[in-house]
């Protein structure tokens, strides 16, 4: 079959199946993310049906999906709210880093992968999936919940930490000098600072530039600006997701509400493709040998992420259900973890075993996270209902 015809047939089949999976998820009242991932495994290189004709399209489409997810999450908050959230949650960010970096690094040392392997696996287990978290918050209707700003501030702290971590990791894997590595980190921090200052002081101007009463012009302006900012951020060693998120918070007022409405169908399409691409790129045959360690690591780091979210929400006075919702939303790992493992494997500085473990771990967490976020509230409610208040004996005669 002609390559173009093959790509169109495969893409059409995948998108149609995504619609069926989304309908099934709606009927059983859960996020469609786990079903998208399993669907990707089914169509992947080691799945039942192999689809090689649409690889180039799905790769860039998955990246666009992450960008749109973070852009629309940023549209829900102003720059002032972001700064306030970071000031309130920096302690939770530090706790998050310690609790979730150490398990991956410790296991790498235990398996004999040395300091470089420890640095890689620490990053894999530390960073939550902003894309999955954003999709979960939207799918479960929790954007307006009190714990959502807490979740958001921790995710932003993690993404900003990646702006420091990724240049250091890249320099370490490449064996470059310390001076060059520090220069890269300085550029990353400078870019993040400049973008945040622009969002704080000139957000109304950014809104004016992208806004248009014509919906077609408005959509083109928004999408073009998001891709441009994300691409420039990525070129400067800053996360493309951070760039898209920063653009989102720079757009405010009526422009932000209109942008959310006009981008929503586009976001849903590309976000679904992103999760399928993750499954497509996972070699199911490499998972069984490392599945035991991946499960151990998944259980441990699910608990540490839950502890992070519970503590952070408790610090700002959120009730018990909201605390556990915050923790469960942070559990999923995804796009950043795969990027970290991919950089390490491409450099040849780590073993293929590490790649297999990272893949198995992220797949487990990407499925576990949305399920935990969906079911944590009824489980907590059921457990709290079983705990009866202590009986105070009646006072006897004096």
Q: How far apart are CA 219 and CA 216, in angstroms?
A: 5
Q: How far apart are CA 213 and CA 207, in angstroms?
A: 13
- Residues in the chain predicted with pLDDT less than 70, given as ranges, are 1, 29-31, 44-56, 79, 81-82, 85, 163, 175-182, 184-185, 188-189, 191-192, 195, 237-239, 386-398
* pLDDT at position 250: 82
Contact 312, 376 (CB under 8 A): no
Complete domains list, the chain, with CATH: 26-381 (1.20.1530.20)
* pLDDT at position 327: 95
Q: Is 114 left (phi over 0), alpha (psi -120 to 50) or beta?
A: left
Give the H/E segment covering residue 115.
helix 114-126
pLDDT, tens digit, 9 for 90 and up, residues 228-265 = 988 887 777 666 777 787 788 788 778 888 888 899 88
Those residues with Cβ within 8 angstroms of residue 204's Cβ, 6 or more apart along the chain or in another chain: 252, 253
The closest of 54, 173, 185 to 116, measured between CA atoms, is: 173
* pLDDT at position 306: 96
Task: List, as one string, the DSSP characters of 298-310.
Answer: HHHHHHHHHHHHH
* pLDDT at position 335: 73
Task: Tell me if residue 390 falls in helix, strand or coil.
Answer: coil
* pLDDT at position 71: 86
Q: How far apart are CA 17 and CA 19, in angstroms?
A: 5
Q: How far apart are CA 62 and CA 66, in angstroms?
A: 7
* pLDDT at position 175: 66
* pLDDT at position 398: 40
């Amino acid at each position: 079959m002609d390559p173009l015809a093959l790509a169109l047939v495969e893409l059409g089949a995948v998108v149609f199946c995504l619609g069926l999976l989304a309908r099934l998820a709606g009927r059983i009242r859960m996020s469609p993310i786990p079903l998208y991932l399993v669907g990707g495994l089914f169509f992947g290189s080691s799945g039942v049906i192999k689809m090689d004709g649409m690889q180039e399209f799905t790769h860039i489409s998955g990246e666009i999906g992450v960008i749109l997810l973070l852009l629309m999450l940023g549209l829900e908050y102003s720059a002032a709210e972001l700064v306030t959230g970071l000031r309130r949650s920096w302690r939770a960010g530090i706790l998050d880093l310690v609790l979730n970096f150490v398990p991956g690094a410790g296991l790498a040392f235990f398996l004999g992968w040395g300091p470089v392997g420890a640095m890689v696996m620490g990053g894999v287990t530390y960073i939550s999936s902003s894309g999955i978290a954003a999709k979960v918050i939207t799918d479960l209707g929790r954007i307006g919940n009190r714990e959502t700003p807490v979740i958001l501030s921790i995710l932003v702290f993690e993404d900003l930490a990646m702006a420091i971590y990724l240049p250091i990791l890249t320099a370490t894997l490449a064996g470059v000098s310390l001076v060059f590595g520090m220069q890269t980190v300085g550029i990353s921090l400078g870019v993040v600072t400049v973008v945040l200052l622009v969002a704080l002081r000139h957000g109304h101007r950014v809104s004016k530039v992208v806004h248009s009463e014509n919906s077609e012009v408005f959509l083109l302006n928004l999408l073009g600006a998001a891709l441009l900012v994300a691409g420039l951020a990525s070129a400067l060693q800053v996360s493309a997701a951070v760039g898209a998120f920063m653009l989102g918070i720079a757009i405010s007022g009526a422009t932000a509400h209109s942008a959310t409405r006009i981008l929503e169908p586009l976001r849903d399409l590309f976000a679904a493709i992103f999760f399928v691409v993750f499954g497509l790129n996972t070699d199911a045959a490499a998972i069984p040998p490392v599945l035991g360690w991946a499960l151990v690591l998944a259980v441990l780091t699910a608990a540490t992420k839950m502890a992070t979210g519970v503590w952070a929400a408790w610090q700002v006075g959120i009730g018990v259900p909201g605390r556990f919702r915050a923790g469960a939303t942070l559990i999923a790992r995804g796009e950043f973890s795969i990027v970290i493992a991919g950089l390490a494997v491409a450099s040849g500085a780590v073993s293929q075993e590490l790649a297999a473990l990272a893949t198995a771990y992220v797949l487990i967490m990407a499925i576990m996270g949305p399920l935990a976020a969906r079911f944590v509230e009824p489980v907590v409610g059921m457990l709290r209902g079983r705990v009866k208040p202590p009986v105070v004996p009646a006072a006897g005669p004096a």
